[in-house]
């Protein structure tokens, strides 16, 4: 289907971001620059190539594109490959307060340029302690970036499925300490070996929700790789979990907001192409979906491209995006006054 809207028009539509991972959204140029400064080896001599083209912008941008394609191709075909790529290429260069702050600021600025009017940025602070930072020292620059962001922003703290209640307790405390800036305590990572809604995380998420008087709510990556079960639905209900990351499998979403990331699901081989994705069918049946990227590095996408994909594949238009953004706004974590202002921006942006 040919798009009725130009890319520039779609870029200007106001958008809210519910589901994007900080470490999946780092610019390839930054990774090359920091690896070359830190003397870190990259396969394919990319760091050397980068150093050799320092005075030639066009050549440097070609190296960055080639490098992005290289890391993106390594991340394809499974969620495990995708998660491994984060550890191989991104985490080594995100281990100082300065790098955390500068990349978070850069992400908020790029989001603004992409038409986002707010962004919840998720990350796992425990992965940024490789050079000895404490959880608190990781959080400080990220919270500072939220405060300095050109658009309203919140953080989401992710525990990972292979972790345990002991680390979950510390991450829960981190959420409680920063609850003004942390919208969710999330569970991320591969469902394959650790499916469902694990009790160690659900209990910590419930503790956080109670201690922050509902300010920091649970969200969970679910039904991305594995089909829903009765036990999943029972625990979601029991622990009042109303936001799912992905959640595109099955028909057990109920009234929960599901942040769907089509290109990411194609990259990790959960679906073969956009037309096979359930987002449109679920939306038409009344499910509360919203549109997200998961990240920009391995998927080589952004919000504008995801919207364009929906326009071209399913014929979505402004009224559909208004609805999905209102769904996203309901789980944005902002106070009532900020939500009212953002809702007004959405309604006027999609009015014409
Ligand atoms: Zn995710």
CA of 349 to the centre of ligand 1 (A): 27
- Domains of the chain in start order, with CATH, are 7-26+94-349 (3.20.20.140)
What local confidence, expressed as pLDDT, does residue 1 receive? 54
How many Å apart are CA 177 and CA 32, to the nearest integer? 34
Give 220 Cα–ligand 1 centroid separation in angstroms. Answer: 9
Stretch 29-44: mean pLDDT: 92
pLDDT bin (cut points 50, 70, 90) of residue 45 is confident
Distance 13 CA to ligand 1 centre (A): 23
Ligand 1 center–CA 1 separation, angstroms: 28
Ligand 1 mean position, distance from CA 137 (Å): 24
CA of 52 to the centre of ligand 1 (A): 35
The pLDDT assigned to 183 comes to 98
> pLDDT at position 64, please?
96
The DSSP 8-state label assigned to residue 295 in this structure reads -
* Cα-to-centroid distance, 86 and ligand 1 (Å): 12
In the block, tokens 């959960």 appear at 270
- pLDDT band per the 50, 70, 90 thresholds, residue 3: low
Q: How far is the CA of 178 from the centre of ligand 1 (A)?
A: 21
Mean predicted confidence (pLDDT) in 15-28: 97
Residue 194's pLDDT is what? Answer: 93
pLDDT in tens, 136-193: 999 999 999 999 999 999 999 999 999 999 999 999 999 999 999 999 999 999 998 8
- Ligand 1 centroid to Cα of residue 156, in Å, is 11
- Averaged pLDDT for residues 265-292: 97
**48: CA distance to ligand 1 center in Å?**
32
- Sorting pLDDT into bands at 50, 70 and 90, what band is 54? confident
Predicted confidence (pLDDT) at residue 275 exceeds the cutoff of 90: yes
Contacts 24+ apart (CB under 8 A), 30-37: 30/93, 30/103, 30/106, 31/67, 31/71, 31/89, 31/90, 31/93, 32/63, 32/64, 32/67, 34/93, 34/99, 35/92, 35/93
Q: Separation of 261 CA from ligand 1 center, angstroms?
A: 8
* pLDDT computed for residue 4 by the predictor: 85
Determine the distance separating the centroid of ligand 1 and the alpha carbon of 49, expressed in angstroms.
32
User: Rounded to the nearest whole angstrom, what is the distance from the C-alpha of residue 179 to the centroid of ligand 1?
Assistant: 21
Computed over every residue of the chain, the mean pLDDT equals: 96
**Is 216:181 a contact under the CB 8 Å cutoff?**
no
153 in Cβ contact with 108 (< 8 Å): yes
CA of 259 relative to ligand 1 center, distance in Å: 9
What's the CA-to-centroid distance between 60 and ligand 1, angstroms?
A: 30
Model pTM score: 0.96
């Amino acid at each position: 289907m040919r798009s009725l809207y130009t890319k520039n028009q779609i870029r200007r539509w106001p958008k809210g971001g519910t589901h994007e991972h900080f470490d999946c959204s780092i610019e390839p140029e930054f990774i090359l620059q920091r690896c070359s400064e830190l003397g870190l080896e990259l396969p394919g001599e990319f760091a050397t190539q980068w150093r050799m083209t320092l005075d030639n912008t066009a050549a440097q941008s070609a190296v960055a594109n080639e490098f992005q394609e290289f890391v993106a191709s390594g991340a394809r075909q499974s969620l495990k490959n995708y998660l491994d790529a984060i550890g191989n290429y991104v985490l080594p260069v995100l281990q100082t307060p300065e790098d955390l702050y500068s990349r978070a600021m850069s992400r908020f600025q790029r989001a603004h340029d992409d038409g986002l009017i707010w962004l919840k940025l998720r990350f796992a602070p425990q992965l940024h302690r490789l050079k000895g930072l404490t959880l608190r020292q990781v959080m400080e620059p990220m919270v500072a970036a939220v405060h300095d962001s050109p658009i309203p922003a919140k953080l989401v703290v992710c525990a990972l499925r292979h972790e345990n209640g002991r680390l979950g307790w510390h991450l829960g405390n981190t959420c409680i300490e920063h609850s003004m800036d942390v919208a969710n305590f999330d569970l991320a990572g591969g469902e394959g070996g650790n499916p469902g809604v694990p009790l160690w995380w659900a209990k910590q998420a419930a503790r956080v929700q109670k201690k922050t008087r509902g300010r920091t709510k649970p969200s969970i990556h679910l039904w991305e790789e594995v089909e829903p079960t009765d036990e999943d639905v029972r625990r979601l209900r029991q622990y009042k979990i109303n936001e799912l990351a992905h959640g595109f499998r099955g028909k057990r979403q109920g009234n929960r907001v599901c942040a769907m990331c089509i290109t990411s699901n194609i990259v990790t081989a959960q679906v073969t192409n956009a037309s096979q994705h359930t987002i449109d069918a679920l939306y038409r049946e009344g499910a509360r979906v919203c549109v997200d990227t998961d990240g920009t590095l391995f998927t080589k996408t952004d919000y504008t491209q995801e919207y364009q994909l929906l326009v071209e594949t399913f014929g979505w238009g402004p009224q559909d995006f208004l609805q999905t953004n209102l769904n996203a706004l309901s789980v944005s974590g902002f106070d009532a006054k900020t939500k009212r202002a953002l809702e007004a921006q959405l309604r006027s942006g999609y009015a014409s």
